[in-house]
Structure 1
Amino acid sequence: MSTPRIANVFTVDPAELIESLAEKLKTYSEINPPLESKYWKTSCAKEFPPEDSELFWFIRSASLLRKLAIKQNLGVRRLRKIYSSNQKKGHNPSHSRPAAGKIIRRCLQQLEKAGLVNTIEGIGRKLTPEGQSLIDKVAHELHRAKSGE
């Protein structure tokens, strides 16, 4: 199978895209993990917070950008469902629990300050042209590096 000519969010490996986007987001001064975020769990179903909370913050922000590029107009409630996890209950059946809304909301607010995401009243959040351009540039760089090998 030949590699596609167009590089976008759909044609590159999601893990590589999120990792590269996280590195790009570190250059934005508006995107910083809050000091108290090292104590936050990502869901009520989780036992412990992430080991590296600073790295997690940039990875979650990059992942949110990718989700918004794939599915336009997502709100915090829908994103909580997307990032949900199963709660372990011993011998009892596990149940799905939504992700922490505060983390998602704070990431989206920082992405909005950086000019990458826009809020549409009553609908949710949407990528701005700058946000779409950033994702396309990173995808193009990954595609070029992969095809150059």
Structure 2
Amino acid sequence: MDIVDRGSVKDVDQQQFTAAFSEFLKKTGKLDVPSGNWADIIKLGIHKQMAPVDPDWYYTRCASMARFLYLRRTGVGAFTRVYGGLKHKGVRPSHFQRGSRSVVRKCLQSLEKAKIIEKHASGGRVLSTLGRRNMDTIAKQVAEKLARQAQQQQQQQ
């Protein structure tokens, strides 16, 4: 199975791609992270009890949203459903709650400023050609890394 020939985000593991693309976003410095104390104390939804533990959560969320936009055109409302979860209500039954609209908007605005996504004429956001090219490049690097690791494991056995 030759994974290296494929250069698409759909062909690699989503967790490894998201981690690699978030590192890319952090290294390039093009992503505009909201300043101040906002990013340190915000909750990612009403269903969450604490703020994110990872200090680079913003880059990870933006990378995840960019990957989702690679697959389909969506807007803020759809992202709130994607990043929602169950709100625990003690002894009462849990219910689904949507994610934070503010975080979704800020991430989309940052990705737009970095020219990775753009607004679609009929609503929602879509990946730009630059964003698609960057994501395909990162996906190919992740696929090559996985292929090298698989070769090394076969050689060790």
Q: Partner of 2:66: helix, strand, or coil? A: helix
Residue 51 (str. 1) matches residue 49 (str. 2) = no
Structure 1 segments (4+ residues) deviating >3 Å: none
Aligned-residue sequence identity (percent) comes to 26
| Alignment map for 1:1-149 (pairs within 5 Å) | 2-4=1-3, 5-34=5-34, 35=36, 36-52=38-54, 54-71=55-72, 73-149=73-149
Deviations 1:69-126 (A, max 9, x none): 011x210001100111100011211111000011110011011011000012442000
Conservation of the 8 A alpha-carbon contact between 2:87 and 2:94: yes
RMSD: 1.4
Give the gaps of 5 or more residues in structure 1: none
What is the distance in 1 between the residues matched to 2:135 and 2:21?
Answer: 7
CA contact (8 A) 2:44 2:103 kept: yes
Deviation per residue, 1:16-42 (Å, 9 max, x gap): 000000000013334143221111100
DSSP-derived class of the 2:10 partner: coil
CA distance in structure 1 between the partners assigned to 2:78 and 2:2 by the alignment: 33
8 Å CA contact 1:28, 1:114 repeated in 2: no
Q: Which amino acid aligns with 1:39?
A: I
What SS class does the counterpart of residue 27 from structure 2 fall into? Answer: coil
1:129 corresponds to which letter in structure 2? T
Distance 1:49 1:84 in 2: 14
Q: What is the alpha-carbon distance in structure 1 between the residues aligned to residue 121 and residue 68 of structure 2? A: 19
Contact residue 84 and residue 99 of structure 1 kept, 8 A? yes
Which structure has the bigger radius of gyration? 2
